[in-house]
Amino acid sequence: MTALFNFQSALLVLLLLVCTCAYCHQLFPALMDRKKESPLWGPLWKCARVGERLSPYVSICCVIFAVRLFIGA
């Protein structure tokens, strides 16, 4: 089953995208800020903003998913 048809997997992919974009924005802020209007970089820039502004909630979601994967539920 692909991640598009499984709700938990889709949430995990979205969470990993937000975390990755926030990390890349921290490393290369000028690159992402300069291209935030483009069709490819725009959504990635928005994911980075969500990751930066909601970082406590994103961290809690990461911990919840890690515990669920560790338990195997």
Q: What is the per-residue pLDDT for 42?
A: 87
Q: What is the pLDDT of residues 12-33, one digit of tens each?
A: 888 889 999 999 888 988 888 8
How confident is residue 38, by pLDDT bands cut at 50, 70 and 90?
confident
3-state secondary structure of 3: coil
DSSP per residue over 19-70, as a string? Answer: HHHHHHHHH-HHHHHHTTTSTTHHHHHHHHHHHHHTHHHHHHHHHHHHHHHH
Give the largest CA-CA distance in the chain: 42
pLDDT at residue 58 greater than cutoff 60: yes
Q: What percent of the chain has pLDDT over 90?
A: 4
Is this prediction's pTM over 0.85? Answer: no
Domain ranges of the chain: 13-71
